Chains A and B, each alone.
Chain A
Amino acid sequence: MMNLIWLQSGGCGGCTMSLLSADVRDLFGMLKDAGINIVWHPGLSEQTGSEAIEVLEACASGDLPLDILCVEGSLLRGPNGTGRFHVLSGTGKPMIEWVRQLAEKAQYTIAVGTCATYGGVTAGGCNPTDACGMQYDGASRGGLLGVDYLSQSGLPVINIAGCPTHPGWVLETLLALAMDSFTQADLDELGRPRFYADHLVHHGCARNEYYEFKASAEKPSDQGCMMENMGCKGTQAHADCNIRPWNGGGSCTDGGYACIGCTEPGFEEPGHPFTQTPKIAGIPIGLPTDMPKAWFVALATLSKSATPKRVKENATSDHLVIVPGIRKTGVK
Chain B
Amino acid sequence: MSRLVVGPFNRVEGDLEVTLDISGGRVDRAYVDSTLYRGFEQILRGKDPMDALVFVPRICGICSVTQSVAAANALRNAMGISIPRNGQLATNLILANENLTDHFTHFYLFFMPDFARDGYSGRPWHGMAEQRFKAVTGSAAGDALPARAAFLHMMGVLAGKWPHTLTLQPGGSSRAVSSTEKIRLYAMLREFRAYLEKIMFGDKLENIVKLDSMRALEAWRDARPPDASDFRLFLEVARDLELHRIGRATDIFLSYGSYEMAGEYLFSPGVWDASKGTLSAIDPSDIVEDLSHSRMTGERDARHPYQGETQPAPDKPDAYTWCKAPRWRGQVLECGALARQVVTGHPLIRDMVEKTGGNVTTRVVARLLEISRVIPAMESWIKSLSPGEPFCVQGRMPDNAKGVGMVEAARGALGHWLVVKEGKIANYQIVAPTTWNFSPRDRDGIPGALEQALVGVPVGEHERVPLAVQHVVRSFDPCMVCTVH
A residues apposed to B, CB below 8 Å? 8-18, 20-29, 38, 41-53, 74, 76, 79, 82, 84-91, 120-122, 124-129, 131, 163-164, 219-221, 245-258, 260, 262, 273-275, 318-319
Tell whether, in the assembled complex, residue A89 and residue B61 are in contact, meaning their CB atoms are under 8 Å apart: no
Q: Within B160-202, which residues are at the interface with A (CB < 8 Å)?
A: 160-167, 169, 171-176, 178
Tell whether, in the assembled complex, residue B9 and residue A220 are in contact, meaning their CB atoms are under 8 Å apart: no
Expressed in whole angstroms, the Cα–Cα distance for A27 and B144 within the complex equals 11
Chain B nearest Cβ from A221, distance in angstroms: 4
Which B-chain residue is minimally distant from A262 (CB atoms)? B164
Q: Contacting B9 at CB < 8 Å: which of A76, A89, A163? A: A89
Chain A nearest Cβ from B172, distance in angstroms: 7
Measured between beta carbons, the chain B residues less than 8 angstroms from A254 are: 156, 160, 175
Measured between beta carbons, the chain A residues less than 8 angstroms from B470 are: 48
Given known A-B contacts A28-B136, A128-B43, A248 and B54 have beta carbons under 8 A apart = no
Chain A nearest Cβ from B4, distance in angstroms: 9
Which A-chain residue is minimally distant from B6 (CB atoms)? A49
Expressed in whole angstroms, the Cα–Cα distance for A262 and B11 within the complex equals 27
Measured between beta carbons, the chain B residues less than 8 angstroms from A219 are: 392, 394
Tell whether, in the assembled complex, residue B109 and residue A44 are in contact, meaning their CB atoms are under 8 Å apart: yes
Tell whether, in the assembled complex, residue A90 and residue B7 are in contact, meaning their CB atoms are under 8 Å apart: yes
Sample (19) of A-B pairs whose CB atoms are under 8 Å apart: A14-B62, A21-B152, A22-B145, A28-B145, A43-B11, A45-B136, A48-B10, A49-B8, A49-B9, A86-B37, A88-B7, A124-B55, A127-B43, A164-B164, A245-B156, A250-B161, A252-B160, A254-B160, A260-B166
Measured between beta carbons, the chain B residues less than 8 angstroms from A23 are: 146, 149-150
Expressed in whole angstroms, the Cα–Cα distance for A42 and B480 within the complex equals 12
Expressed in whole angstroms, the Cα–Cα distance for A13 and B485 within the complex equals 12
Given known A-B contacts A126-B42, A128-B42, A44 and B11 have beta carbons under 8 A apart = yes
B residues apposed to A, CB below 8 Å? 5-11, 13-17, 33, 35-39, 42-48, 50-51, 53-55, 58-62, 64, 105, 109-110, 113, 116-117, 134-137, 141-142, 145-146, 148-150, 152-167, 169, 171-176, 178, 312, 314, 387-388, 390-392, 394, 464-465, 470, 481
- Chain A CB within 10 A, most for which of B10, B134, B167, B312: B10
Expressed in whole angstroms, the Cα–Cα distance for A128 and B44 within the complex equals 11
Tell whether, in the assembled complex, residue A273 and residue B51 are in contact, meaning their CB atoms are under 8 Å apart: yes
The 5 closest A-B pairs by CB, nearest first: A255-B160, A14-B61, A90-B7, A89-B7, A248-B153
Measured between beta carbons, the chain A residues less than 8 angstroms from B43 are: 121-122, 124-128
Tell whether, in the assembled complex, residue A255 and residue B145 are in contact, meaning their CB atoms are under 8 Å apart: no
Which B-chain residue is minimally distant from A80 (CB atoms)? B314
- How many residue pairs at the A-B interface have CB separations less than 8 Å? 284
- Chain B CB within 10 A, most for which of A21, A127, A131: A21
Chain A nearest Cβ from B181, distance in angstroms: 10
Measured between beta carbons, the chain B residues less than 8 angstroms from A41 are: 10, 136
Tell whether, in the assembled complex, residue B481 and residue A246 are in contact, meaning their CB atoms are under 8 Å apart: no
Expressed in whole angstroms, the Cα–Cα distance for A10 and B14 within the complex equals 9
Expressed in whole angstroms, the Cα–Cα distance for A9 and B60 within the complex equals 12
Q: Contacting A318 at CB < 8 Å: which of B46, B53, B113, B391? A: B391
Chain B nearest Cβ from A21, distance in angstroms: 5
Expressed in whole angstroms, the Cα–Cα distance for A27 and B140 within the complex equals 12
Expressed in whole angstroms, the Cα–Cα distance for A127 and B38 within the complex equals 9
Q: Contacting B464 at CB < 8 Å: which of A11, A26, A49, A164? A: A49
List 19 additional contacts besides A23-B149, A89-B17, A258-B166; criterion CB under 8 Å: A13-B61, A14-B163, A17-B105, A21-B162, A24-B146, A42-B8, A43-B13, A46-B117, A48-B6, A88-B15, A121-B55, A122-B38, A220-B171, A221-B173, A246-B160, A246-B162, A250-B156, A255-B174, A318-B390
Tell whether, in the assembled complex, residue A20 and residue B105 are in contact, meaning their CB atoms are under 8 Å apart: yes
Measured between beta carbons, the chain A residues less than 8 angstroms from B157 are: 248-250
Expressed in whole angstroms, the Cα–Cα distance for A46 and B135 within the complex equals 5
Expressed in whole angstroms, the Cα–Cα distance for A79 and B417 within the complex equals 27
Looking at chain A's contact residues, the main secondary structure is: loop
Measured between beta carbons, the chain A residues less than 8 angstroms from B312 are: 79, 85, 128
Tell whether, in the assembled complex, residue A76 and residue B174 are in contact, meaning their CB atoms are under 8 Å apart: no
Measured between beta carbons, the chain B residues less than 8 angstroms from A76 are: 36-38
Expressed in whole angstroms, the Cα–Cα distance for A20 and B109 within the complex equals 10
Which A-chain residue is minimally distant from B43 (CB atoms)? A125
Tell whether, in the assembled complex, residue A275 and residue B62 are in contact, meaning their CB atoms are under 8 Å apart: no
Measured between beta carbons, the chain A residues less than 8 angstroms from B38 are: 10, 74, 76, 85, 122, 128-129, 131
Measured between beta carbons, the chain B residues less than 8 angstroms from A121 are: 43, 54-55, 58
Tell whether, in the assembled complex, residue B13 and residue A256 are in contact, meaning their CB atoms are under 8 Å apart: no
Which A-chain residue is minimally distant from B485 (CB atoms)? A12
Measured between beta carbons, the chain B residues less than 8 angstroms from A124 are: 43, 55
Given known A-B contacts A29-B142, A79-B314, A247-B152, A50 and B464 have beta carbons under 8 A apart = yes
Chain B nearest Cβ from A209, distance in angstroms: 17
Measured between beta carbons, the chain A residues less than 8 angstroms from B394 are: 219-220
Expressed in whole angstroms, the Cα–Cα distance for A47 and B136 within the complex equals 11
Chain A nearest Cβ from B466, distance in angstroms: 9
Expressed in whole angstroms, the Cα–Cα distance for A224 and B173 within the complex equals 16
Measured between beta carbons, the chain B residues less than 8 angstroms from A22 are: 145, 149
Q: Contacting B135 at CB < 8 Å: which of A45, A74, A120? A: A45
Chain B nearest Cβ from A322, distance in angstroms: 13
Tell whether, in the assembled complex, residue A89 and residue B8 are in contact, meaning their CB atoms are under 8 Å apart: yes
Expressed in whole angstroms, the Cα–Cα distance for A22 and B141 within the complex equals 13
Tell whether, in the assembled complex, residue A89 and residue B161 are in contact, meaning their CB atoms are under 8 Å apart: no
Given known A-B contacts A51-B465, A255-B175, A319-B387, A89 and B50 have beta carbons under 8 A apart = no
